[in-house]
Chains A and B, each alone.
Chain A
């Protein structure tokens, strides 16, 4: 519950101005999540965006179900492996970002203690 008092939050807007059905009192972070994801998704060349939790289960995605589940499972494993690789080489170091470049596109993973943000971009050549 400490998190709630530490973060800077604007006062809750009146219920009538909320864009859609959301839980009372939690509408503001929900809208912020949606907006942030929409900003990332609308960036040049981005094919898909997804957020995966610490167990590798996708909680937000712009792609279809089966593709999302595949990406989430595989990239979660790979990110954990990359993280342990970095820390094994130097225990004071830690993984901050992971990029995989393939023939067709680039996959970017921003890791965190609780979540992973995965963005797939088709870069311009």
Chain B
């Protein structure tokens, strides 16, 4: 007998889905989890638990307090870097061909992008010259030092730059014309996000520094603060169609400065005090230090209420922010920096070539160091080592000071330019703490890798800083 399957019937048919749905996904900032309130039913069991463990914990705390078991014991987790080396030399040839200097530098919030502003710092009428803001993404493969990842052409010289604290592609810049602009570097076709425009509120002098500040009450929204040599400190917020609107303003007037220290008498008619640098305290978000053209730092507060005696037009009432005047330098101040580890210490540097370490509690500086025979253009505290700061000098070098090693001379002197042209700006990278970027008059940005001694905090450094502040003050 044989068997055979019957032929199988087949047929062809086609199918296509005609309906489709679009969906978008976005992560939101996480809602912070809060501590649960103690519910009544757990209390007796919690009390029993604490009774059980208390004796053991107190015993361990006591043992720990008296123990010398770990004295001098240090562990190295990272590869030790002995020398300071130059990782990248970045530049934008069209800007360098025009003889532009690097006037401002900023690292973005993720620490992988460094942006620089091109302009001129020797005073002249460069307001009609095109300038640039360039950004390099150091983490991208195929990084080309002569080709920035993003270039923005700006109609006027840019004198200062600051990246947004949380948005990795937003950057604010202050112009020679007094305007403040905010760009989004992730949009190459149209990067300009907001601008102040040239209104009555805008600065009438070049903007010396811009800083991002969290809005009071909304910790994830930010405003831009700009200071300029016309004596105004202005707070801007982006509204509507690309317009930066003035929300708060302050004006520095000679007659309203607190007389905590003797100042040189100014000739009649000069009532405005030009602001050249600003630094906010990391401990009190309303407190800031202003560096001035007169060489004296001012302690100011955003909460100051007194109206400013100025006739400058403004859409919001201008207030006088100064609360305390410190002893002056021998010339205008170019940079101030508040210590991220000590609430009262700040540094200032200026044209007299000196760096002053001030405590906010007294007018004369705690110590004064002469770092250069020419001007000092920038000074910054290290974000990781409480006793370290860096200064950029007019002789073309970056000086790194470690107050633990020596309070007289720099621990490391990095020669940035070969022909002694000045270094105008420098910034530490707070995410990748071994990187330091510095921009000079030749239009190059050099990214330096610091040795391990500058990036790892020693065991008792914060206490050493406190002791230094107390010692020098008495």
Contacts and interface: CB of A to CB of B under 8 A. Distances in A.
A3 B54 contact: no
Contact of A37 (B42, B50, B459): B50
B457 interface: yes
Given A33-B46, A33-B47, A44-B65, A26 B40 contact: yes
Contacts, number: 116
Contacts of A59: 35-38, 42, 46
A interface, by DSSP: helix, strand, loop or mixed? mixed
Contacts of A99: 60
Contacts of B43: 26, 29-30, 33
Contact of A101 (B52, B62, B70): B70
B459 A112 contact: no
B40 A114 contact: no
Interface in A51-109: 51, 53, 57-61, 65-66, 68-69, 96-97, 99, 101, 103-104, 106, 108
Given A97-B60, A110-B56, A121-B61, A3 B460 contact: no
Interface in B30-55: 32-38, 40, 42-54
B58 interface: yes
Contact of B56 (A68, A97, A115): A97
A58 B36 CA distance: 6
Contact of B65 (A23, A39, A123): A123
A23 to B, nearest CB: 5
Please name the 10 residue pairs, one residue from A and one from B, whose CB atoms are nearest each other, closest first. Answer: A29-B47, A110-B53, A36-B50, A29-B44, A29-B43, A32-B47, A58-B35, A115-B49, A23-B40, A69-B33
Given A106-B64, A123-B67, 16 more contacts: A26-B44, A36-B51, A43-B61, A45-B64, A59-B35, A65-B32, A69-B32, A97-B56, A108-B57, A108-B60, A110-B56, A112-B52, A119-B61, A121-B61, A121-B64, A123-B64
15 contacts: A7-B44, A33-B50, A36-B54, A37-B50, A45-B65, A58-B36, A59-B35, A69-B33, A69-B34, A97-B56, A112-B49, A115-B46, A117-B50, A117-B53, A123-B67
